[in-house]
Structure 1
Amino acid sequence: MIRFDRVSVTYDGAPEPVLREVDLQIEEGELCLVVGRTGAGKSTLLGAVNGLVPHFTGGTLAGRVTVAGLDTAHHPPRELAEVVGVVGQDPSAGFVTDTVEEELAYGMEQLAVPAEVMRKRVEETLDLLGLADLRYRALHELSGGQQQRVAIGSVLTSHPRVLVLDEPTSALDPTAAEEVLAAVTRLVHDLGVTVVLAEHRLERVVQYADRVVHLGGDGTVSAGPPAEMFETATVAPPVVELGRLAGWRPLPLSVRDARRAAGPLRQRLAAQPVPPPRQAVGRTETGEVALTARSVVVRHGEVVAVREVSLDLRRGQVTALMGRNGSGKSSLLWALQGSGPRQSGTVGVAEPRPDGGARPAGRGPDPRKLSAAAARRLVGLVPQTPTDLLYLETVAAELAQADRESAASAALPARQILDRLAPGIDDATHPRDLSEGQKLSLVLAIQLTATPQVVLLDEPTRGLDYQAKQALTRIVDELAAEGRSVVVSTHDVEFVAAAADRVVVLAEGEIVADGPTAEVVVASPAFAPQTAKILAPLEYLTVNQAAAALSTPADRR
């Protein structure tokens, strides 16, 4: 179905090709998982399947790519639209209509599909992806995860023979991600659709893959059965990492397979105390409240997004805010920061005094009643798409602007903060040319220049590989060690297991669970990380915990 014949891709000005002499064949009806570190060339490989590379991205493509017998060099994307459907990383960027139903029908209209066929396919897709209740909703009113499902559905209605998905579950909660992947798997098994999928959250997708394509980061590409490829892959989900640690062969790709092999490992681990999920150097939770919210209500038109939420955020604590798509997480963060709507309720932030103390949060200022600059000095927020806060031409210009806006409060210049978070970023680089992890670090540096005592991060792990998420965990730990309160809104259960002290779960705008991370996530089938599912009833959350326990000398057990 898809054939790469000695394909190399080199972008203008790049010293080396992103892809080098790639020979690859993907058969009809295969689900092919593309893996590799951030920047290894996954998006380039996906773009070459339908001719976006090089017709729209620029650069030079050597060799030959054919899809269903069509050479992409001679058939641009518009001529391949009936054969290849593509869903990119940012679903909203591809929307061209106003409502869910209209968006699902738009692609078929361009392909002149008969009206009666269009109606049938729209209904099938609404049911397939759980969108029936949203059919008349405006696209801009949807949560990020809901938009992702609509983007996938708009491609599926055209019944393409090849489906290319770039980070399809990055904005979805665990349950919604399972639903989408189950739908994609049905397309592969029942209709013979060929799916090429790139995803950083491998724990969600690896068990469904028929073939893994691994990009080594040096332009080379290798492919083979998943269990074989993950023995040496540069990235791997926790189930594979635990299998490597325990020496299981073949490597398990699902929790079910891992539990079958984990009996002896559980016996070894049961004989000793469970180590902490991480060693948070310098962390001291004082119990001081940094922010107090009482009876917060947020409405968007007729929809009540946050219902009477009361919450205390403490200094030195990392809190994970979890819940299904549309549960009110982002609305709550924006209400706490002061920039978003809040119909009722109060928010108070502990304000530092000149004598080194702080006014109690309950009697502190409300960010909503302050200027934007003053609010930033109390509560900093990094949105789901960090580029929303980047509007200048260079990294240096963004950092200089942050310094000017925070001159009175900045403890460190923005450049120094950025170098601590992500060293080596050139001042002359355009912010939108940075990797996702670098963009996040830049926006975080800009926000931290104002020295806020409360830092809110909305879905910060989107687009980050496992190594980048480890770096983000270290950053979050450092912020907490400085005495800040950090809140991370996320669907990434593996990141929560490694980084959070406390988990707050929202449902229909209300808090339904609030407690220590291990206590909340182990009790939840939806939010439990892979290691917890494999080693239950032992309360292990991460592979690092198991590794630490196994390396403990016998006389210290």
Structure 2
Amino acid sequence: MIRFENVSVTYDGSARPSVRGVDFEVPEGELVLLVGPSGVGKSTVLGAVSGLVPHFTGGTLHGRVTVAGRDTRTHKPRELADVVGTVGQDPLSHFVTDTVEDELAYGMESLGLAPAVMRRRVEETLDLLGLAGLRDRPLSTLSGGQQQRVAIGSVLTPHPQVLVLDEPTSALDPAAAEEVLAVLQRLVHDLGTTVLMAEHRLERVIQYADQVVLLPGPGERPLLGTPAEVMAVSPVVPPVVDLGRLAGWSPLPLTVRDARRGAAPLRDRLTDRQPRPDHTARPPQPAPPTPGRRLFKRTKPDTTAAPPVAEVSSLAVRRDRVQALRHVDLTVTPGETIALMGRNGAGKSTLLGALVGLVEPSSGSVRTGDAIPHRTRPRDLVRRVGLVPQEPRDLLYADTVAAECVAADDDAGATPGTCRALLSDLLPAVADDTHPRDLSEGQRLTLALAVVLTARPPLLLLDEPTRGLDYAAKARLVTILRGLAAEGHAIIMATHDVELAAELAHRVVLLAEGEVIADGPATDVVVASPSFAPQVAKILAPQHWLTVSQVREALR
């Protein structure tokens, strides 16, 4: 169905190909997973299937890509629209209408399908993706995860033979991600749809793949094989595989169920040991960072009780007839890292927006330090609280990475080079002259994080901070955030990434329908939740291990 024949793609101004020697075939009715570190060309490979590369992205494509017998060099994306459905990393860029139902129907209207067929397919897709209750909602009022499901639904309704998906579960909560992946599996198994998908959260998707294509590095030839074959040599693996490597299991497990079957000896070895208390313990209460202190210098915490960096009291927010938050109370202390979790639409982004002054309370109060966020000038507020949004492009406006960093230093009054040093710690491979639009979604997110951190706000807010990040980039992010917490910065991250919460959070706050339903230590809250428990916790239950790093430390 999809065939790559020795394909290489070189973009204008680049000294080497983004991808090279791509040569593999995706049979009809299979789900093939594309994996590899950030920036190795996964989005380029996906774009070559739909014709976006090179017709819209520019650059030079050598070799041949055919889809259902059509050569993508001679067929533009509109001439492939009846065969290929594409969902990119940014759902907003796909939308052309105003409401959910209209968006689901638009693709079929473009293909001239009969109204009766369109109506039936819209209803089927609303049910498949759990969108029936949102059919009349304006797209602009949906959460990021809800927008992602609508974007997927809009390409499902025309019933394409091929689906190309770039990070399809990146903005979805665990339950919603399972629903979407179950739909994709049904399309593959029952309808013979061919799916080519790139996804960094391998713990969610690896068990659904028929084959895996590994892109090892920029310009390196890909490796094709079964999930077990590729995971045995891949530099990026989910926690279940990482734990299997640590324990010496053969064959390597790909699912929690497989791992639990062989986990009894490992649990026996860990019986008399406890997870080393680190981030899961209640953090010390250091004084807020002082202007002259180096950003990540570890200092002895001041045991004097410091005032909260943020206080939320009886907060309620109503937006477009939707009660987004109700009766929310939250106190955030210096040095504390909080994971804000819950289903899509639970109110996580709204709460972050209220803390940074983008959302005005309907009732109740919000304070960050001595400021009321929605009444404080942005230039003054930036030194108290910083937000890295789901859409990093909202913060990026310069023509090069270097210019973004210079502007961030200037806006924050920081020493020249501060932003660039932060970016180098998080993502070493990004060149100064790269345009932000040429970065992958994960790379843009990392640049936005560096821009916000430059001002060194006592309270840092992150909305889905690992969206688009591979495991190595996520590990670097964890190191950076731990350094900030050690300095006294408080961190609140709205996330669906249960592995990140297990690795980093002191507290987990669960939201549902705009209300706080749980607030406590990460070890208690996430282990007690089947949806939000990390893979290691599920494998080694009833013992309370959360991460592979904890197990590795205990076995030394």
TM-score higher than 0.5 here? Answer: yes
Which residue number in structure 2 is paired with residue 300 of structure 1? 319
Which residue number in structure 2 is paired with residue 224 of structure 1? 225
2:405 pairs with 381, 386, 399, which one? 399
**Local SS of the residue matching 2:468:** coil
My pick for the range that moved more, 260-269 or 281-290, is: 281-290
Which residue number in structure 1 is paired with residue 309 of structure 2? 290
Which residue number in structure 2 is paired with residue 77 of structure 1? 77
Q: Return the letter of the residue paired with 1:203.
A: E
How far has the Cα of 1:417 moved from its partner?
Answer: 4.4
Contact map agreement 2:405 2:417 (CA 8 A) in 1: no
Which residue number in structure 1 is paired with residue 291 of structure 2? none
Give the distance between the partners of 2:421 and 2:266, measured in 1 at CA. Answer: 45
The alignment's TM-score, normalised by the length of structure 2, stands at 0.93
Give the distance between the partners of 1:371 and 1:322, measured in 2 at CA. Answer: 29
Contact map agreement 1:307 1:509 (CA 8 A) in 2: yes
How far has the Cα of 1:369 moved from its partner?
Answer: 2.1
Which residue number in structure 2 is paired with residue 329 of structure 1? 348
Sort the Cα spacing of 1:64 and 1:373 in 2 relative to 1 into closer, same or farther, 3 A. Answer: same
Q: Return the letter of the residue paired with 2:466.
A: T
Which residue number in structure 2 is paired with residue 356 of structure 1? none
Q: Return the letter of the residue paired with 1:311.
A: L
Which residue number in structure 1 is paired with residue 246 of structure 2? 245
My pick for the range that moved more, 90-99 or 70-79, is: 70-79
1:463 pairs with 464, 468, 477, which one? 468
Sort the Cα spacing of 1:2 and 1:428 in 2 relative to 1 into closer, same or farther, 3 A. Answer: closer
How far has the Cα of 1:21 moved from its partner?
Answer: 2.2
Give the distance between the partners of 1:27 and 1:69, measured in 2 at CA. Answer: 12
Which residue number in structure 1 is paired with residue 288 of structure 2? none
Give the distance between the partners of 1:466 and 1:172, measured in 2 at CA. Answer: 18
Which residue number in structure 1 is paired with residue 200 of structure 2? 200
Q: Does 1:525 align with 2:514?
A: no
Which residue number in structure 2 is paired with residue 312 of structure 1? 331
Q: Return the letter of the residue paired with 1:114.
A: A
How far has the Cα of 1:513 moved from its partner?
Answer: 0.5
My pick for the range that moved more, 172-181 or 60-69, is: 60-69
User: What do residues 106-125 of structure 1 show as CA deviations (whole Å, max 9, x unaligned)?
Assistant: 10111111111111111111
Sort the Cα spacing of 1:416 and 1:155 in 2 relative to 1 into closer, same or farther, 3 A. Answer: closer
Contact map agreement 1:126 1:135 (CA 8 A) in 2: yes
User: What do residues 455-500 of structure 1 show as CA deviations (whole Å, max 9, x unaligned)?
Assistant: 1111111110000000110111111111111111100001111111
**Local SS of the residue matching 2:383:** helix
My pick for the range that moved more, 287-296 or 100-109, is: 287-296
Contact map agreement 1:410 1:449 (CA 8 A) in 2: no
Which residue number in structure 1 is paired with residue 374 of structure 2? 368
**Local SS of the residue matching 1:150:** helix
Alignment of 1:23-42 (within 5 A): 23-42=23-42
Which residue number in structure 1 is paired with residue 93 of structure 2? 93
Sort the Cα spacing of 1:318 and 1:285 in 2 relative to 1 into closer, same or farther, 3 A. Answer: farther
Sort the Cα spacing of 1:397 and 1:65 in 2 relative to 1 into closer, same or farther, 3 A. Answer: closer
Contact map agreement 1:277 1:545 (CA 8 A) in 2: no
User: What do residues 323-382 of structure 1 show as CA deviations (whole Å, max 9, x unaligned)?
Assistant: 1000000100110112222122122233xxxxxxxxxxxxx3322222111111111111
Contact map agreement 2:244 2:252 (CA 8 A) in 1: yes
Give the distance between the partners of 2:178 and 2:312, measured in 1 at CA. Answer: 33
Q: Return the letter of the residue paired with 2:251.
A: P
How far has the Cα of 1:424 moved from its partner?
Answer: 6.4
Sort the Cα spacing of 1:441 and 1:45 in 2 relative to 1 into closer, same or farther, 3 A. Answer: closer
How far has the Cα of 1:253 moved from its partner?
Answer: 0.9
Sort the Cα spacing of 1:258 and 1:420 in 2 relative to 1 into closer, same or farther, 3 A. Answer: closer
Contact map agreement 2:360 2:374 (CA 8 A) in 1: no
Give the distance between the partners of 1:495 and 1:545, measured in 2 at CA. Answer: 14
Structure 2, unaligned runs of 5 or more: 284-297
Give the distance between the partners of 2:515 and 2:493, measured in 1 at CA. Answer: 17
Give the distance between the partners of 1:489 and 1:436, measured in 2 at CA. Answer: 18
Q: Return the letter of the residue paired with 1:235.
A: V
Q: Does 1:142 align with 2:161?
A: no
Contact map agreement 1:418 1:442 (CA 8 A) in 2: yes
Contact map agreement 2:335 2:490 (CA 8 A) in 1: yes
User: What do residues 220-251 of structure 1 show as CA deviations (whole Å, max 9, x unaligned)?
Assistant: 11111111110001111001111111111111
How far has the Cα of 1:9 moved from its partner?
Answer: 1.8
Structure 1, unaligned runs of 5 or more: 351-363, 552-557
Give the distance between the partners of 1:166 and 1:85, measured in 2 at CA. Answer: 11
**Local SS of the residue matching 1:526:** coil
My pick for the range that moved more, 20-29 or 191-200, is: 20-29
Q: Does 1:109 align with 2:109?
A: yes
Number of aligned residues: 537
Give the distance between the partners of 1:314 and 1:179, measured in 2 at CA. Answer: 36
Give the distance between the partners of 2:25 and 2:476, measured in 1 at CA. Answer: 35
The alignment's TM-score, normalised by the length of structure 1, stands at 0.92
**Local SS of the residue matching 1:460:** coil
Contact map agreement 2:31 2:195 (CA 8 A) in 1: yes
Contact map agreement 1:231 1:251 (CA 8 A) in 2: yes
**Local SS of the residue matching 2:530:** coil
Which residue number in structure 1 is paired with residue 492 of structure 2? 487
My pick for the range that moved more, 479-488 or 430-439, is: 430-439
Give the distance between the partners of 1:402 and 1:331, measured in 2 at CA. Answer: 25
Which residue number in structure 1 is paired with residue 190 of structure 2? 190
Give the distance between the partners of 2:84 and 2:301, measured in 1 at CA. Answer: 53
Q: Does 1:381 align with 2:387?
A: yes
**Local SS of the residue matching 1:377:** coil
Alignment of 1:12-27 (within 5 A): 12-27=12-27
2:481 pairs with 450, 471, 476, which one? 476
Contact map agreement 1:367 1:374 (CA 8 A) in 2: no
Sort the Cα spacing of 1:226 and 1:122 in 2 relative to 1 into closer, same or farther, 3 A. Answer: same
Give the distance between the partners of 2:14 and 2:538, measured in 1 at CA. Answer: 44
